[in-house]
Structures are given as C-alpha cells and as structure tokens.
Structure 1
C-alpha cells in the first residue's frame, strides 16, 4: 500500500469512527464504501480491518455509558443476528446471480422507502416496541449481512424509531455492532485470515480511532434529537439508493 493511500485510509477510518460515536453506526459502511470506491485496499482486507477498529471504537465509546443500554432490546437483536448471518450466507450460495440481483433491488427499494418516509416524519413512536420486534430486526440485519455484507439498516430503523434518548440508541447500536465485529474477528483468526498486514494497519489506525472517538464524546456536533434522527434516516436513503443502483447495474448493464 502506498503512503498516500495509507494516509487516506486512516483518515477515512477516523471520520467513520467519529460518525459512529455520535450516531451509533456508520463506521463499517464508511470504511467499506470508501475503500472499495477509491481502491484503497482489497475488500477482504478492509472488512477485517473494519472489524478490528470497530472493537477499538467501542472500547473508547462505551466505558461509563453501559447503564444507558436497553439490555433486553440488545439481547433480543443479538439473538436474531448471530444465526441469521449464517443463514444469509447459505441462501446466497443457493441463489442465482439474477435472483440475488432482484432480491437486492427489492431490499434497496424497501430501505429507500423506509428511510424517506421516516426522515420526513422523524418523531419516534409513542411506546417502546416489544422485544420480539427487536429480535426480528436482528434476524433481518443478519440476513442482510450474510447476503450483502450490510447489516445496519433494519437495526438503525428499529432503534431510531423507539422513544429512547439518543445516547441510549447510540450505545445500543455500538454494542450490537461490537458483538458482530468480535464474532467476525474470532472466526477470521480461527481461519487464519488475519495476516501481518491486517495487524500492522490496525496498530496504525488504533490511535486515530481512539482520538476521534474521544473527540466525538467530548465535542459532539450541535445537532438536535430530530436532526440526528433525520441524519440517521438520510443515511438509510443513501444505502437504499446504492443497493438499487448496484442491482440495476448487475442486472441490466
């Protein structure tokens, strides 16, 4: 990796870490999107690096905040995620390219519609959803992760629609994505997929992640609760649009 690509990669990771600390999500999407779009690193390398730096981000973002977490909601979502990731991978193996593209197109349309509708009406629900709905959001997130490597949208939508404070939402999402990242790191290590380059890049990125995480905790942007919810749903719109465009490209171009 050239020095200019390394600097840009570390800067992207720092920006993603800051964003995730203030919203509860985004590090993986920002890092994976930028690295693939700009050709900064191979996808496999970026995915492993993203999982490790996610653990560093959570180590800086969660201490002193665990009492804000709705443990029942997080537990239900996690129970849904872990087995459905494997199911998503198995389904992907059986689907044809055209079927996968059509499924991605449909999912992109649903995410786009959900993001647009909730961005226009960002007020949360009047009452907290039951734990079964958190489990379902985890199942859907796991399936998306197994199929397309994108687990965030169902969980983001579910938590940001709840009558919870922003800090409760942020901490819950960070913890959930930490569990999934830790699972991936352990599996990758067991499979011998974490080579020297991954650990060197992680060691370089870790101080930047810690600094941007602490900066986000100490100097968050002056956004209201409604503005932060609109930002979250706006990101869903971008994800949905990306999935639609990518599916159209694969199916028709």
Structure 2
C-alpha cells in the first residue's frame, strides 16, 4: 500500500470515529483531508459509497423520528440538483475545485460555529432551496451535509428528530449522487481502489466512535470538529490559490 493510501486510510478512520460519535462531518473531513493527496474526482465517488454504507444500518433505528414533510421536499430538490453538481466535478479542473471546496467548507463551519437557530420551520420554498443546495454540493464535492445540518440542527425540531432527518437526508442524497456519478462515468480504478482500502477504516472508526457516545462532552467534541474543518479549509484554500497563481 502506497503512502498516499496509508494517509487516506488514517483520514477515513479518524473521520469514521467522528461519524460514529456525532453522526456528521464524515464526508467533509474525508474529502477535504484526502484531497490534499488525491484529486476530488477520485475522492468524491469513494466518499459517497462509504457514506451510503455508513448510513444504511442506521435507517431502521431512526425511521419513526424522521420529519417526513421536510425530508420529502429536500430529497426531491437534491435529486434534481445532484447531476449539475456531478457535471461540475467532471469538467472543472482540480485546483479550482479544491479552492471552491475550501471556501464552502469554511463558510459552513463558521455558520455551525455560531450556533445559528431558526425561530420557525422553513417554508416549502426555503426547504426546497436547502435541498437543491445540498444536492449541488453533494454532486460536486460529496459534502451535501452543511445545508442539511444547519437546516435541521437550527430548526425548532426536537434534537432526536433533527438528527434522524439528517441521517435520512444524507442517505437519500448519497444514493442519488452514486447514480449520477455512475451515469457520468466517474468511477474509475483509482476511486474504487480507495473505496475498498478505506472500508475497513470506516467500519473500525464508526464502531469506536459509537462506543464514545455518552463518554465525551458532545458540545466540546463538535466544536473541535468544526475547528479542524476550518483549519483544513484554510490550508487547502491557500495551497490551491498558490497553485492556481503559479499555473
């Protein structure tokens, strides 16, 4: 196994621990960290497969608490927007994609850090806009989570319903993303190799993370994850900007 894949294995393992503990940030952590050594068009297809695997086993346990009125609108809008995001991934050069990924991740992390809260459930049009943004980001970067996380964790819904809705949204969007990526021929040998090598890291990481639930301060851990995302996004953004200027 080359040093690149060893690095990717470690990144997936650590992100898996976060996923098992908090239920979010796996895709963002993996995409932005592994994209330092592999192009986004290799990383994103692998991450979507890993996300589907991570989410399927949770579906039976969260089914009854999902907020279906919002989920239905979000999923439909995200499915419509996902192919556009995949088109961007397939046609935009790696460095501009990395720069855009860095900016989007930083902004999303900054919003989450503020603890933004809504006073009411968003209207159908606002819910559809959230789904479309998530689908576009999921297709292009494999990280459709930020709009969904801000939407549900910032909503008046109970925390359990919000988390369940996030998991269900992720799973539906990732399946739509997989279909679109296959349609665009984005699954090559490199992305499939990364998927196979990273799968044991995901399983081990999620298992360890799930065992930490109730043993660690969730708010402190979430702040730490957000800080890491912001630091990684600044590093990636700076490196991509220098590469673009140098080119």
Q: TM-score, normalised by structure 2?
A: 0.72
Query: How many angstroms apart in 2 are the aligned matches of 1:34 and 1:111?
Result: 12
Is residue 151 of structure 2 the alignment partner of residue 158 of structure 1? yes
Query: How many angstroms apart in 2 are the aligned matches of 1:123 and 1:145?
Result: 22
Query: How many angstroms apart in 2 are the aligned matches of 1:32 and 1:114?
Result: 14
Q: How many Å apart are 1:113 and its aligned residue?
A: 6.5
| Mean CA deviation greater in 50-59 or 238-247 | 238-247
Query: How many angstroms apart in 1 are the aligned matches of 2:126 and 2:140?
Result: 21
Query: How many angstroms apart in 1 are the aligned matches of 2:141 and 2:186?
Result: 20
Provide the secondary structure at the position in 2 that maps to 1:162.
coil
Q: How many Å apart are 1:64 and its aligned residue?
A: 1.7
Please point out which of 74, 78, 95 is paired with 1:81.
78
The match for 1:216 is: 209
Structure (1 or 2) with the larger CA radius of gyration: 1
CA separation of 1:228 and 1:247: change in aligned 2, threshold 3 A? same
Please point out which of 41, 44, 64 is paired with 1:44.
41
Query: How many angstroms apart in 2 are the aligned matches of 1:104 and 1:140?
Result: 14
Preserved CA contact (<8 Å) 2:13 2:202: yes
Q: TM-score, normalised by structure 1?
A: 0.71
Query: How many angstroms apart in 2 are the aligned matches of 1:244 and 1:201?
Result: 23
CA separation of 1:24 and 1:77: change in aligned 2, threshold 3 A? farther
Q: How many Å apart are 1:53 and its aligned residue?
A: 1.0
Instruction: Tell me how large the CA RMSD over aligned residues is.
Output: 4.0
- Per-residue deviation, residues 175-195 of structure 1 (Å, max 9, x unmatched): 222222222323344555434
Provide the secondary structure at the position in 1 that maps to 2:24.
coil
The match for 2:135 is: 142
Query: How many angstroms apart in 2 are the aligned matches of 1:5 and 1:111?
Result: 23
Preserved CA contact (<8 Å) 1:69 1:168: yes
Query: How many angstroms apart in 2 are the aligned matches of 1:113 and 1:188?
Result: 26
1:223-242 alignment to 2 at 5 Å?
223-224=217-218, 227=220, 230=223
Q: Which runs of 5 or more residues in structure 2 are unaligned?
A: none
Is residue 19 of structure 2 the alignment partner of residue 26 of structure 1? no
Please point out which of 46, 69, 74 is paired with 1:72.
69
| Mean CA deviation greater in 23-32 or 198-207 | 198-207
Q: How many Å apart are 1:210 and its aligned residue?
A: 2.4
Is residue 195 of structure 2 the alignment partner of residue 202 of structure 1? yes
